Each structure stands twice: as C-alpha cells, then as structure tokens.
C-alpha cells in the first residue's frame, strides 16, 4: 500500500505511541487533583505546554489544549465573536477555509453578524486589496488559514496582520493545521492559532489553540474550568504528551522533510506535465507548500481517479476528506475561479515524513498507466 493522503491524516510515529502508552500507565492521575498523582500529571502537562510553546515560539501560558482543530477553531471564532459583539458585528473569512471555520462563521451569520468573504485570486491566495476594501470600523473578526488543505496555497498571514494594525478591534484567527512546521510565521502577529496533532504524526482527537488574550475571548462551553476555563473537561494528558513529542520530532526533521517533499513535487509535476489533458492546481512555487499537490483530469470524476489508483494500492483523495462526501463542487477550488470540470476531476496527493522516493515513482508510473485508460474517455468527450 502506498499512502499519499497525509493532508487528511498521518501515521503516528512509533515513539509517539510509546509515549501515549507510557503516560497512560505512569501518569494516569487527574492533573486537576491535588493528590500526588494529580501533581505529577500537572507537572507533565505544564512541561508539554512549555515544549510546544518553545517550538512554536509562543508564550506557553497562552496555549490551551483541545480535542483537535475543529474544536480550536470553534472556540477561537465563537469565543472572540461573543466577546466582541457589542463593539461591532462585521466578520470576514474566505471560501478557502476548512468547514470547521466556514460553518462556524455561517452560524454567526445566522445570529445576526454580517459576514463577508474575501475574494481569492486565481493563484489561490486571498486578495489583499479586496480585504482592505472590506475592513470597516465595525469589523471584529477575521479568520484566514495559513495553508489551504485542498491545494496547498500559502496565505499571506503576516501581510494581513500588517493591514490589521489599523484595525485594532479585529481578532485575527489563523487555522494553522496544514501550515505548522511547513511554513513559518510570526505568531505574535496573530490573535489565535489552531493546530491538530494527527496532521503531524500525533494521535487523533488532540489539538491546541493559542490565544494571545484570554481576557478578550469568551469560553463557549461550561464545566470544571480546566485550561483557564476556555476548554473545560479533564485534559487528555497522554495525547498531549504524545502531541508535544510528535511536534518536536517533526520540528527536528522539518528541513529534511521539506527538502524531500520539494524533490517529490518537482518530480511528479515534471513527469505529469507531459500528459496532454492534465491540469495542475498546485504549481511548484514559493506560495505553495510542497507537501500537497492538486491535479485534475477533465471529464473524469475525481472519485474515478481515486478508485482507479486504489485498485493499484495507491491511496490519494478527492479534494479533502472532510468535504469529499458532499456532492457540491469544492468551495476552495471554486473560489479560485477554476472550471467546474477541473474541480470535479481533481484529486489531492499529499506527503508526510514517511513518504519515500520509491513510492512517489510508483505513483507516477501507475498514474501514467491509468491515464492511458482515461485518455480514451477524455477524447471521446463523454
Ligand atoms: N483545518 C484544516 C485546514 C484541516 O485540514 C482540518 C482537518 N481536515 C481541520 C481544520 C480539522 O482538524 P481536526 O481533524 O483536528 O478537527
């Protein structure tokens, strides 16, 4: 099996799983308890927070553990909107965002906020001029992802932050799920930032939210008051320790990984650009990460390509795992102005630390083989 769907999720590192089991065995106390086991657990919790803070270059006491990026995005967006609602009702996001951001913004629209979508340029980046034209004195919230999960375009986060200097009321949230350790940004320039461990060889169901100012973000759920009352519920210490370990391991390997992914992307795009009908939605460019490649075949459904490759034990995906079961065209690709035919025929190939050159070569070989079968359909115009 060749697994090339790492933007959907990655295989946990062996050391990460070992840490998860060891913490379950040796630190099972509740970090909120004042007994000895509780204190031991609390100490380990704080050590993990510090480790993550050091890697991401953010103050560790502004890190809040959650069940993953969906929850982190919900807390940041709903919590900031609730806090700011008396200061303004205008909110902005883009159609590039993951559903955990988009649908959360739409829920705010249903509650009376005025929602605007910033335009996306054909290259997959948001239009900064349009953003400037949308901002008003009433704007209180903006959310833009660091790297798009469908085609890998890097968003101009620091330039957005510079624009927002003139709009201090705006809470600027960044979904960093696909960008963390792949593209570096100065997190002191954003108000909140989400990550999810299963995208970097940690376990599923654990994530983090960085919030610059806890006082200006309301809690959206209620309970025992853990994580400074921003995210109540007994903290998942084994998964948190495992996430800190996964982040450290990926951080240490990030230069090698980036170099490897660049080589892989270059190879795939060079080889596949020889195929007459293939469209490349993720060019080799500094404004795209190398770990995600979106390509398309006209008149062929993405699902058909995914299934054809699956028959040869190669796993890729259509657009993104979270929206691939929906029938409508992918919103992120659509926002770039790509044709419906391109969008419907698109697939995503994504790498991880574990991806090898031999796997990439095999993928190209199989894709070229399958392309010959699809070519007949494309040329027959069906
Ligand atoms: N944002 C982006 C950009 C993602 O790719 C994902 C995962 N598909 C999420 C948020 C949601 O993360 P989680 O699975 O941790 O809820």
pLDDT at 319: 76
- For ligand 1, say whether the CB of 207 is within 6 Å of any of its atoms: yes
Return per-residue pLDDT of the chain as tens, 382 residues.
Answer: 999 999 999 999 999 999 999 999 999 999 999 999 999 999 999 999 999 999 999 999 999 999 999 999 999 999 999 999 999 999 999 999 999 999 999 999 999 999 999 999 999 999 999 999 999 999 999 999 999 999 999 999 999 999 999 999 999 999 999 999 999 999 999 999 999 999 999 999 999 999 999 999 999 999 999 999 999 999 999 999 999 999 999 999 999 999 999 999 999 999 999 999 999 999 999 999 999 999 999 899 999 999 999 999 999 999 754 554 554 789 999 999 999 999 999 999 999 999 999 999 999 999 999 999 999 888 887 6
Nearest CA to ligand 1 atom 7: 8
- Which of 318, 313, 309, 308 lies closest to 348 in space, CA to CA? 318
Atom of ligand 1 nearest to the CA of 205: 15
The C-alpha atoms of residue 145 and residue 101 are separated, in whole angstroms, by 9
| Residue 10 in contact with ligand 1 by CB distance below 6 A | no
* Ligand 1 near 144 CB (within 6 A): no
CA of 365 to the centre of ligand 1 (A): 31
3-state secondary structure of 119: coil
Pocket test for ligand 1, best of 9, 10, 69, 97 (most atoms within 8 A of CB): 69
Quote the pLDDT of residue 326. Answer: 52
Domain limits of the chain? 2-8+254-380, 14-248
The model's pLDDT over 264-299, given as tens digits with 9 standing for 90+, comes to: 999 999 999 999 999 999 999 999 999 999 999 989
User: Check: CATH 3.90.1150.10 for 2-8+254-380?
Assistant: yes
In this prediction, residue 382 carries a pLDDT of 62
How far, in Å, are 88, 189, 190 from residue 165 at the CA level?
17, 9, 11
Q: Report pLDDT for 323.
A: 54
Contact yes or no for 353/341 (Cβ under 8 A): no
What residues are annotated to the active site? 322
pLDDT score for 322: 53
Q: 106 alpha carbon to ligand 1 midpoint, in Å?
A: 17
The closest alpha carbon to 192, from 167, 220, 173, belongs to: 173
Instruction: Report yes or no: 205 and 236 within 8 Å, Cβ to Cβ.
Output: yes
> Ligand 1, from 67, 143, 149, 352: best to mutate by most atoms within 8 Å of Cβ?
149
- Atom 9 of ligand 1 has which residue's CA nearest to it? 69
Measured N-to-C along each axis, helices 14-26 and 237-272 cross at an angle, to the nearest 10 degrees, of 170
State the chain's mean pLDDT as an integer: 96
Top-level class of domain 14-248: alpha beta
Instruction: Say whether pTM exceeds 0.85.
Output: yes
């Amino acid at each position: 099996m060749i697994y090339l769907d790492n933007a959907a999720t990655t295989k946990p590192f062996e050391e990460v799983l070992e840490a998860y089991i060891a913490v379950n065995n040796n630190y099972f106390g509740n970090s909120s308890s004042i007994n000895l086991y509780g204190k031991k657990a609390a100490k380990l919790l704080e050590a993990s927070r510090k480790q993550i803070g050091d890697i991401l270059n953010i103050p560790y006491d502004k890190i809040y553990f959650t069940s993953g990026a969906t929850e982190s995005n919900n807390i940041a967006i709903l919590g900031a909107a609730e806090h700011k609602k008396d200061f303004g009702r205008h909110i902005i996001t883009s159609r590039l965002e993951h559903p955990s951001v988009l649908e959360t913004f739409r829920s705010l629209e249903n509650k009376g906020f005025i929602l605007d979508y910033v335009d996306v340029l054909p290259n997959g980046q948001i239009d900064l001029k349009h953003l400037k034209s949308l901002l008003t004195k009433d704007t209180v919230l903006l959310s833009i992802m660091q790297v798009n999960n469908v085609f890998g375009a890097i968003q101009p986060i620091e330039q957005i932050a510079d624009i927002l200097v003139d709009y201090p009321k705006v809470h600027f949230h960044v979904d960093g799920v696909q960008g963390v350790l792949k593209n570096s940004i100065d997190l002191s320039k954003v108000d909140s930032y989400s990550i999810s461990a299963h995208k970097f060889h940690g376990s599923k169901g654990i994530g983090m939210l960085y919030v610059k100012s806890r006082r200006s973000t309301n809690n959206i759920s209620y309970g025992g008051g853990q994580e400074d009352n921003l995210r109540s519920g007994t903290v998942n210490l084994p998964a948190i320790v495992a996430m800190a370990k996964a982040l450290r391991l990926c951080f240490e390997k990030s230069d090698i990984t980036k170099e490897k992914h660049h080589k892989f992307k270059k190879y795939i795009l060079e080889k596949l650009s020889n195929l007459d009908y293939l469209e490349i939605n993720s060019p080799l460019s500094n404004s795209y990460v190398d770990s995600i490649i979106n390509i398309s075949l006209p008149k062929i459904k993405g699902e058909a390509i995914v299934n054809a490759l699956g028959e040869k034990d190669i796993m890729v995906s259509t657009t993104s795992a979270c929206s691939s079961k929906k029938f409508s065209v992918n919103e992120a690709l659509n926002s770039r102005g790509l044709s419906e035919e391109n969008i419907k025929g698109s697939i995503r190939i994504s790498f991880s630390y574990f991806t090898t050159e031999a796997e990439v070569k095999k993928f190209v070989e199989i894709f070229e083989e399958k392309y010959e079968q699809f070519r007949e359909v494309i040329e027959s115009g069906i």
